[in-house]
Amino acid sequence: MKIQEAKYVMSNSEYEKCPPPDMPEYAFIGRSNVGKSSLINMLVEKKSLAKTSQQPGKTQLINHFQINNAWYLVDLPGYGYAKVSKSEREKWEKMIGDYLYNRENLMCTFVLVDIRHKALVPDLEFMSELGQAGIPFHIIFTKADKLKAYQIEAQVAAYAEKLAEIWEVVPQMFVTSAEKHEGRDPILLAIETYNGTFSPGSIE
Ligand code: GTP
Ligand code: MG
């Protein structure tokens, strides 16, 4: 799929105020600083459409971007940032939970994980919640430029093994580097396939 147009639409803290759910939508989620915003920029080939930062906690709201006038990419705030207070964390959980559970045009979510880490409990717990809510998800490994090819292979295999303990069918996994601009096409292909199954008429 070619990206002809990618534009920022709006930022919200409430899912009710998001754009009308008349186009298929894909949300990027994961721990703070994992590279969600960078990956979105890489996918749409724009340097700073989504705001990135070396400091965790940069993305604070539900950010909608419209692609090719046909679908939405959503950049979400990260979880697991140690420096936030309990009340901040609860606010985050409510905002993200309400969005994920109620957004009817959400085709799937992409859960991002840093390829350098072993499977982390908060990520696994988050995936379990998605599974229980019936929200399809795929895994995107980020920052692959930080490892050598054989290390990438080992990390992916170890992650798949861990997931196989929990899931009957291991979710689809993608390896990416926003830095090196790698791993873009398979993700766009997955999105294109989902786009083909979207029918706004089925939304109530
Ligand atoms: P929050 O919005 O704070 O939750 O973070 P985020 O997940 O959106 O991460 P962001 O895209 O802002 O990137 C965080 C840091 O990781 C930045 O310093 C990026 O430059 C860096 N980064 C992101 N992707 C990659 C990558 O593929 N390779 C390398 N080496 N660094 C990356
Ligand atoms: Mg971000």
Q: Using one digit for the tens of pLDDT, what is the confidence trace for 12-34? A: 999 999 999 999 999 999 998 99
pLDDT at 204: 47
Instruction: Write out residues with Cβ below 6 Å of ligand 1.
Output: 32-38, 52-54, 56-59, 77-78, 142-143, 145-146, 177-179
Strand, helix or coil at 43?
Answer: helix
The domain segmentation of the chain, as residue ranges, is 6-197
Q: What is the band of 58 on the pLDDT scale with cuts at 50, 70, 90?
A: confident
For residue 41, give the ligand 1 atom closest to its CA.
11
Residue 178 Cα to ligand 1 middle (Å): 8
- pTM of the prediction? 0.95
Please determine, for residue 201, whether its predicted confidence score (pLDDT) is greater than 70: no
Strand, helix or coil at 134?
Answer: coil
Q: Whose CA is nearest to atom 32 of ligand 1?
A: 143
- CATH node for 6-197: 3.40.50.300
pLDDT at 97: 92
The dihedrals phi and psi of 48, each to the nearest 5 degrees, come to: -140, 45
pLDDT tens digits, 89-134: 888 888 999 999 999 999 999 999 999 999 999 899 999 999 999 9
Q: Give the DSSP letter of residue 79.
A: B
Residue 201 Cα to ligand 2 middle (Å): 32
Output 77 or 43, whichever has higher pLDDT.
Answer: 43
pLDDT at 139: 98
Rounded Cα–Cα distance for residues 174 and 124 (Å): 17
Residue 111 Cα to ligand 1 middle (Å): 14
pLDDT tens digits, 147-173: 999 999 999 999 999 999 988 889 999
Asked whether 187 and 174 are in contact (CB, 8 A), the reply is yes
Residue 37 Cα to ligand 2 middle (Å): 4
Rounded Cα–Cα distance for residues 63 and 61 (Å): 6
